[in-house]
Amino acid sequence: MKISFTKPGLPETGVLVVMGYEGGELSESAKAIDKVINGSLARAAKIAKFKGKLGELVSVLAPQGTKLERIVLIGTGKPEKLDLLGAEKLGGTIYMALSAKQPRTVSIAFDQFDEGESRVWEQAAHIANGALLRSFRFDKYRTKEEADKKPSIRALKILTPSGGRARKAFEQLEKVAGGVFLTRNLVSEPANILYPESFANICQELTELGVEVDVMGEAEMKKLGMGALLGVGQGSDRESKMVTMRWNGQQGKGRKAQSTQIAFVGKGVTFDTGGISIKPAAGMEDMKWDMGGAGAVTGLMKALASRKANINVVGVIGLVENMPDGQAQRPGDVVTSMSGQTIEVINTDAEGRLVLADALTYTQKEFAPKTVINLATLTGAILVSLGNERAGVFANDDELADRLKAAGEKTGDKVWPFPMDAAYDEQIKSQIADMKNTGGRFGGSITAAKFLERFIEKETTWAHIDIAGMAWSQADKPTCPKGGTGYGVRLLDQLVADYYEG
């Protein structure tokens, strides 16, 4: 779908979308087209009891006096309260409503009106971005889908007096959306296609954007003492991998320009059977997206490199497959992590924290970042706490947690901070090792975070984001179809842009 920004005017063909405000008032563009079609739009709005609430729709088919296929009136709510997320919802709703109608061209008339907190050109750019995000489809394995079932929108035009600035703003949003789409694709792939080696191969494609990519196999990880990560993958025929992706975008010279300012670490369990502590069969197919944290880190690296972020960043992902064959680790086994700390494996289905333990240690030893943020579909307990509305944040620094929360509110990738009291450490004490890998049902998300905290150096600012409820959506949303969400890419890109670049 080609997206462009042009001056206001009446398009000759296709579908025209105009705005209506809360209370039922029509925008200037809506009033102008209503005159051309002899008041048909106003009559349709009256019959439909159009209130102008955000996303509310009214259509006029084959409007007389024009060659347009249809005119769509969409509500914006109160225009002074239309923020950037609202603008994205507007764009996504338009795409969602029209994509099944088979139009080739859609023009959205976005009028100038009194500015609220957001500038009009920013809103126009985010309307386009919302439509772009909603346009994602993972359909590569659908071989018999009928043509009239596929979206047909080829061109989306935003008609706005602020077209030049809107276009420039959208160019940056589009690059970040590319990272979101990469993450959605990764999360959506079946496990027979996406496994540690094939995932690593996809990461290597980022070298075309200037990202330095390095892939370690099991022999190298064994030399480094990564017994926690390797233990998870030892039951699979697929070799475990660790991938590092470096973006050195810091401009200038000197020590800061040479150092890694922030590191992102992702859990990449490409399929999780639970291992010997095997999961129930029902719903196990969903465990192809247990690599959502690694997917988000990979998409983020693409986004940062695509927009040439002025920062030095490293992304590290541990890639394993958790399978239950005769070589698999057992409940009760003790493994030694790269940090030298020993772990009693109580439950082989609490495997993600074992992968992250070694990935976190390696990241700090190799790159010495001041700040480390890890993402993982780590616990079912986080869904009990937050459902599918927010990810959980567990941090050793309140300022970092606050920054993540602020970035989440801006992007819609929302988070909520959790306590990290020392008392929770008691639940993961082991009688025979330095720790055990699960602390039981109560406070399960927190004890998982406390486990990870044991692999963070004292001088490192750190946050863990549990995205188990956010990596996949069971329902269509205005800016995301059902399936992989790409959660985390926009959150962390915004965090970098607001607090770490420059």
Q: Read off the tokens for 432.
A: 């025979």
**Active-site residue, from 279, 410, 454, 477:** 279
Identify whether the C-beta of residue 92 lies closer than 8 Å to the C-beta of residue 479: yes
Helix, strand, coil shares, percent, the chain, to 5: 40, 20, 40
Per-position b or e across 158-189, b if 16+ CB within 10 A of its CB: bbbebbebbbebbebbbbbbbbbbbbbbbbbb
Biggest CA–CA distance in the chain, Å, is 83
In 182-276, DSSP assigns E strands to 212-216, 241-248, 262-272
Q: Read off the tokens for 396.
A: 């050793």
Burial category of 213 from C-beta neighbours within 10 Å (exposed 0-12, middle 13-18, buried 19 and up): middle
The CA dihedral of 286, 290, 294, 300, to the nearest 10 degrees, is: 40
Q: Is 353 a known active-site residue?
A: yes
Per-position b or e across 368-380, b if 16+ CB within 10 A of its CB: ebebbbbbbbbbe
How far apart are alpha carbons 21 and 208 in whole angstroms? 45
Query: What is the DSSP code string of 348-401?
Result: TT--HHHHHHHHHHHHHHHH--SEEEEEE---THHHHHHTTT-EEEEES-HHHH
Query: Shortest CA distance to 262 belongs to which of 214, 221, 213, 314?
Result: 314
Q: Are strands 342-344 and 334-336 parallel, antiparallel or unpaired?
A: antiparallel
Residue entry with tokens 């150092």: 259
Q: Is 279 a known active-site residue?
A: yes
**Active-site residue, from 89, 175, 288, 353:** 353
Chain centroid to Cα 350, Å, comes to 23
Identify whether the C-beta of residue 427 lies closer than 8 Å to the C-beta of residue 443: yes
Q: Where are the alpha helices (DSSP H) in 392-487?
A: 398-411, 444-453
Q: Which residues are part of the catalytic machinery?
A: 279, 353
